[in-house]
């Protein structure tokens, strides 16, 4: 019996390959709304980012979602992502 293969994804900020379950998912749904997907199950195009403040900050500073989703992402979305991540960190939630 072969061991189950662990899904790997690349962080859009640090470009490191990591286990899918250890990363945060940012999802763009069919209507174009972008949100953090803490459960990893939301429908839509996903991008993965490390659950670290450095990677979140790099994503926001360099506007990495513009390239990943091939469209202009409003500044408000980046502010939302920073705010949601900060709230998650305060609660002590883990991915």
Parse the chain into domains and list their residue ranges. 8-91
Residue 3: the pLDDT is 81
Q: Which long-range contacts (CB under 8 A, 24 or more apart) does 77-80 make?
A: 77/34, 80/34, 80/35
Q: What is the pLDDT along the chain (95 residues), one digit of tens a residue?
A: 778 899 999 999 999 999 999 999 999 999 999 988 888 889 999 999 999 999 999 999 999 999 999 999 999 999 998 998 888 888 776 65
Q: State the pLDDT at residue 12.
A: 97
Q: Which residue has the tokens 């360099």?
A: 62
Please report the pLDDT score of residue 50 as a whole number: 93
How high is the pLDDT of residue 92?
74
> CB-based contacts of 79: which residues, under 8 Å, 6+ apart?
none
- Quote the CA–CA distance of 48 and 27 in Å, as a whole number: 9
8-91 fold: Hypothetical Cytosolic Protein; Chain: A; (3.30.1230)
Burial class (CB in 10 A: 0-12, 13-18, 19+), 18: middle
């Amino acid at each position: 019996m072969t061991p189950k293969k662990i899904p790997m994804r690349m962080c859009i900020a640090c470009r490191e390959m990591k286990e899918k379950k250890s990363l945060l998912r940012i999802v763009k749904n069919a209507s174009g709304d972008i949100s953090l997907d803490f459960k990893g199950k939301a429908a839509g195009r996903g991008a993965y980012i490390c659950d670290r403040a450095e990677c979140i900050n790099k994503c926001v500073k360099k506007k990495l979602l513009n390239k990943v989703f091939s469209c202009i992402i409003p500044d408000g979305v980046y502010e939302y992502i920073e705010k949601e991540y900060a709230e998650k960190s305060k609660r002590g939630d883990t991915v």
